[in-house]
Structure 1
């Protein structure tokens, strides 16, 4: 019984630098030739993509180029300043712009479909990876006894400290008594000072 065989390897994607250089060349040729070589860009697109629509566009560019040549051939001035010359130059330049735009679109779409960009998710850092340790022969001969964590100590509530009551103001009767004593003391001192002064004068 024969197998299906090996699948052919996928075509290698051209380097980005080579693609950029080719695109610059096939864009510059129609512009630098003032549209006379505009058919080069759609021809390149048709060869790369192998699509029937691109070949039809290449043929259409040749037809438009022939129409512009027909107008330019009827112009007998040196700078294409006649109405036919102006129409022929406008058609020529528009054809060049359309050919360049189609070539860039077809070429970019072709390589994007053929080699889609694949974004890989970021990988976890290797520093967090824990490597498994090989079993120790000591652990095989001396099995470890599971250590039971100590029981938590019972929570003892803190003793309640009584809050002293705020100081009370003395009663009005006490104030009156103190005031009376102060008055008596003032009278006594006044009398004593008077007696002391009289005795000193008599002497």
Structure 2
């Protein structure tokens, strides 16, 4: 086994960057495979082997690896979320936290005027969403150029974004159609309260799970 030269590393990085790999984990796995393979051949053979590796990891193969990783991690995150939301599995602390949370929600509903309570729900959702986006901001880019991201960050941002977009539409459409009159409807407010609790727990579970996610490996 030999040590690769700086020129060989440059060739590998140039090739991988040209593939516009979506996820950091996929990039690192392919990079490791290139390095391991080239370390076991002579420098004279490296160009031929590099060409073979380029054919093995063609654009379509790499995109397939991106998609496979996304599917696998999404499935694992969903299973982990379901386990996290089973508060009875978290012992006494989980049970107490749940009771306190629902108690505070009921107190808020009975104390705060119905017309203003909806604003409280919106603030909770916006704060939770902002927290998620801030903690996983590495997956956000406003540049036109390509940017690799961590699969965990991409998954969290996508899930929270979809969830809260749906929430905003659930709130916005009835409000627009009724010109705000629905805000005084008790059933609507209770419904928004339930959606808020679900959305907040969902977002928190994503953050907890994301912090525990390690680098995932794709399968070839």
Structure 1-normalised TM-score?
0.32
Question: Greater helix share, 1 or 2?
Answer: 2
Higher alpha-carbon Rg: 1
Q: Which has the higher contact order (CA 8 A, sep 6+)?
A: 2
Structure 2-normalised TM-score?
0.30
